[in-house]
Amino acid sequence: MLTCIPLCLLQTGLTSASGNILCAVQHISTRALPLCLKVILVLPPITMFIIQDEEKLLTLEKVLQNYLPAAIKVYGTILNINRGKISDQEVVVDIWPNFSTVICRPCIKEEMYTSDECTFTVFSKDQSSLYNLLMDDNVVNWTNCFTFGGIDTSFLELVKDVAACKKFTVNFLTSTRAMILEDPGDLLDITSEKADVASRISHLDISHAQIVNRNWKFGKDDSGLKFVKNIIAKFPSYCILDETNTPVSWLLTYQYGAMGLLYTEPEYRRKGFAKLLVTKMVKALQNIGYPTYCFVEEDNTKSYQLFEQLGFKEAPDIRFSWVCCRPFEN
């Protein structure tokens, strides 16, 4: 009697570079196989396409608008790729043009896979399509640690299953809610009420990166400093300066278009600084055609209330999680 081989193990073999299992099963009569193997053998080959053509990327950006808010992080990433703001990411889909899954990943360079900075952004309409892409070593380099950033929380069990097959652990980092300003008219603008403070709003520059990184929950190290410098240089950011021209409150934009790293020094809180900065950023993002949204950690009640008061609404029925994948320790 033949023993059924787990799906993940068989698919790992079928998609491996050596193709040993695939070669072997091609010479076996399916009449002698149990049903589970017959199903595997008739599955279509796993495919993936790297979208590099400018016209296709623009088409993808447009189509993803139909899948907001679930696709908002991938949409924002591709928007910035199309605008020349991101050059170190590439886009993978399962099929084209009728895709089910889109993955934004670092461009294939060995040095990109030796750091915790390696982040994958995922949108999928179909779990089996996502499973197949994640199992494919040509899509995900399952040799070094990396992060799934802002993945739909409903996919976490799938990610854990794939990671187990690849002998990786999955460490949960945080879960967030997406807050979106759907209608610009919903924005509560307090600029006129705080004209004196609003006059001190300025752009962040690279010299401010250290203070931002020092107060960022996920920063405080050299990797965080590098990240902060990058997004200050490439994406919109604002701060409020004190009388010595030192930032005391600031707001940045991530490479995927979301507002983030909002912070106000303790002695300047409860003065409306954060609301002023969000209002300023919303107007700037709307002027350049960016979506206006942010991710708020589930336990961050104060930030949730702040954005809600300004007119943002929580995306219903979805959570976005950040998880880190690491190889098993021997």
User: Torsion-angle region of residue 168: left (phi > 0), alpha (psi -120 to 50) or beta?
Assistant: beta
pLDDT digits (tens, 9 = 90+) for 202-241: 999 999 999 999 999 999 999 999 999 999 999 999 999 9
Find, among 77, 124, 78, 72, the residue nearest to 100 by Cα.
124
Neighbours of 44 (CB within 10 A): 6
The pLDDT value given to residue 115: 47
The pLDDT value given to residue 216: 96
Q: What is the rounded distance in angstroms from the CA atom of residue 125 to the CA atom of residue 49?
A: 17
H helices then E strands: how many in the chain?
A: 12, 13
pTM score, whole prediction: 0.85
Strands (E), the chain: 49-51, 89-93, 101-106, 119-124, 146-152, 168-180, 201-202, 238-241, 247-253, 259-264, 293-297, 313-314, 320-327
- Tokens for 149? 């950033």
The pLDDT value given to residue 202: 98
pLDDT bucket at 7, cuts 50 / 70 / 90: very low
pLDDT bucket at 323, cuts 50 / 70 / 90: very high
DSSP state string for 142-165: TTS-EEEEEEEGGGHHHHHHHHHH
Give the rounded percent of residues in the chain with a pLDDT score beyond 90: 82
In contact, 10 and 21? CB cutoff 8 Å: yes
Find, among 89, 94, 93, the residue nearest to 119 by Cα.
89
User: Torsion-angle region of residue 218: left (phi > 0), alpha (psi -120 to 50) or beta?
Assistant: alpha
pLDDT above 60: residue 311: yes
Q: What is the dihedral of CA 20, 21, 23, 25, to 10 degrees?
A: 160
Q: Report the interhelical angle of 54-64 vs 72-82 (nearest 10°).
A: 150
For residues 151-168, average pLDDT:
98
